[in-house]
Amino acid sequence: MKEEIKFHADGILNEAIRSWRQWLLDERRYSVHTVDAYARDLALFTAFLAAREDLCPEGKVSLGLLKKLKIRDFRSFIGARSAGNKEKSTIARELSSIRNFFRWLDRQNLVQNPAVSILSSPRRNKVLPKAVGVKETLKLVNEAGQEENENWLMLRDKAVFTLLYGCGLRISEALSITPADLKTGDILRVRGKGGKERLVPMLPVVIKRIEDYLNACPYHVHEDEALFLGVRGGRLNPRIVQRLTERLRDGLHLPGNVTPHALRHSFATHLLAEGTDLRSIQELLGHASLSTTQRYTEVEISTLQKEYDGARLLGGK
């Protein structure tokens, strides 16, 4: 039997919470599981307030108290949760639930509290792109296709992996390329997110491996259809490339962060390490914002820091 969620609230506030939960179910069409999660977050907040004798000497939170809360009271809740070693993502979710309840109270003309509108969530830790080292990347690209029984499939796999790394493409972009996109010599036309097109230069090794694949492919590859085909002649499924990456990763004893998308991250990180400017990398990757590309500088700095620490300069340990 599911445990009842208890709120440190007086009767009027409890009734408001019940109505809010019903509204989430009926009007917002949230699942029972989601509504319960929201309610548990709110229950934590009411428990925190009820434990504050300076705010709630009677131990029961009321609508009147919620109306009088200051921004420092909300920040105090954030501080208490942080002190309890809660992840920033967890605290951000809890605050989202609390904001939702206060917005509902405002719409019902039950509580108006302007402090909620200026409440900001704690900044989440940045998730850096997971690039792979140059040696590991080349090992993966060069070994691609070795397990295939048919020569054309081996050449196809090599071409796909060389393209992912050599041009920094997303897997969806690589598998959407048509022969018509190759008609400008050593320049590849790529359709990225939102249908945006960009032009990416191709290295001779990329061109050569695509040509080798096309010459060996037993199917006729139409100009305006997918360049890379599966065993039955249809468009190559991205899951096949993902599974191949997993097998290569295990067979070559590569890190767990080696994925098809990691080749795109590696492309950008390795270019940066060689001195390519950020604006050029932004254009090659098709990023709308330079700030997205700037994440790779943090990857490179992080890598340099590890190498610096490992060098043990000045007798460091």
Residues 143, 149, 150, 153, CA torsion sign: negative
CA distance 98 to 229: 50
CA distance 83 to 44: 15
Q: Is 170 a catalytic residue?
A: yes
**Catalytic residue chosen out of the listed positions 38, 165, 213, 296:** 296
Q: Is 220 a catalytic residue?
A: no
**Catalytic residue chosen out of the listed positions 21, 249, 264, 270:** 264
**Catalytic residue chosen out of the listed positions 81, 158, 170, 209:** 170
Residue identified by tokens 């060098």 is 311
Q: Is 193 a catalytic residue?
A: yes
Residues 204, 210, 213, 214, CA torsion sign: negative
CA distance 168 to 199: 12
Q: Is 264 a catalytic residue?
A: yes
Buried b (16+ CB within 10 A) or exposed e, 270-309: bbbeeeeebeebbebbbbeeeeebebbeebbeeeeeeeee
Q: Is 306 a catalytic residue?
A: no
**Catalytic residue chosen out of the listed positions 8, 249, 261, 270:** 261
**Catalytic residue chosen out of the listed positions 193, 222, 243, 247:** 193
Q: How far apart are the first and last CA of the chain?
A: 56
**Token pair of 295 as six digits:** 């994440």
Bridge-based pairing of strands 187-191 and 197-201 is antiparallel
Q: Which residues are catalytic?
A: 170, 193, 261, 264, 287, 296
